[in-house]
Every structure is written in structure tokens, then in C-alpha cells.
Amino acid sequence: MPARLDAARRRADVVTAALRLVARDGAAALSLRRVADEAGLNVGSVRHYFEGSEDLLSATAEEIGRRMGERLERHRLDDIGADWPERLALFVEEVLPVDEERAAEAVVLVEFIVASRTRPILAAATARMGRDLHEALAAALASAGVGGHEAEATRLSALVGGLTLDVITPHGELDAEGVRVALRHHLATLDH
């Protein structure tokens, strides 16, 4: 394997280890040493790919956004048709904690959103993810012919945030099925 591909793979493996660490122990636990331990590497190897913990934190936040964005892009919503409520629900579920993988990502994202209050490097990344989600939701709602799609995208984004918190924190009682029911109930109220 070419050295460049091996370096990209190793860097991705370190970011994946950082994601696991943050999902399990929180954003405050992220350090080069702890990520190195999680990845089964020495800290010098991690430093080879990341200048410091802020660089690693930024790369980890970008990876969460990339994964969610890729899932959203798989949906063709330009001609959504009569079954728009279900297709829209499946689209929105891509960023909701409805399975183990998306729940772990949601935990990391919420950790980063909270940490963005005091960690400027996360503020830009999480704000961009919020804008990207709003734009994706607005475009999907417009494609479905929903009136006031910008305002509805704001409401739907807030619903996504609330449902996410309800699932991943002890504060709530929803499970994946409850999330799906709540989402579909909301979509059924939209002016189409």
C-alpha cells in the first residue's frame, strides 16, 4: 500500500479512536495520550498525524459532520412525490440516534456542542454543522412542497436536537421507536 494511503488510513484510525473515547468518556477526556491508548499506539505516533489535541479535536468534529453529511446525501429528494412524509422521515432519521452507530455519533456531537461554549475550535465546526443541517432540512422540505420551508426547517432542527437529547441523556425516556413516532407525528402536521 502506498505510504500516503497508509498515512490517511492511520489518521482515520486515530480519529475513530477519538470518536470512541469521546462517546464513552466525554469531550473533556480527549487528549493525545488517551487517544493513543485507545488506538493502541504510542503518543508519538499520534503526534505524527496531529499537531496537538486541538487539531485532533477539530478533525474529530469534522469527521462527525462528514459522516452525517454522507448519509444525508444518499437520499434523493429532488422529486420526493406523494410518499414525501415517509421519505422525509427516513432522511431526518439519518441524523437521529435511532441505532447504535448514530447514537454514538449523537453523543459525540452533543459533547462537542456543549464544549463549544469554551473551546473556540469546536464553536466554528458545530455552528457549521448546525447551518448545514438547517440548509439540508430546508431543501428537503421545499422539495416536498412544504409551505414556509425555512421556518419549518428551524422547527424541525429544534425537534432533532430535542429528540437527540431525550435519547442520549438520562433526562428522557424515548427509544428509537419513540423517536420515529414523534418525528412522523411532527411531519404529519406540516402544511403541504
Check whether 80 has a pLDDT greater than 90: no
Least confident of 3-7, 153-157, 182-186: 3-7
- CATH fourth-level superfamily of 3-188: Tetracycline Repressor, domain 2 (1.10.357.10)
pLDDT per position as a tens digit, 110-132: 999 999 999 998 999 999 999 99
**Torsions phi, psi of 160, nearest 5?**
-55, -45
Cβ-based neighbour number of residue 90 at 10 Å? 15
| Alpha helices (H) along 26-145 | 32-39, 43-49, 53-73, 84-93, 100-115, 120-143
Closest CA to 56 of 108, 101, 5: 108
Please tell me the predicted confidence (pLDDT) of residue 5. Answer: 56
Please tell me the predicted confidence (pLDDT) of residue 164. Answer: 97
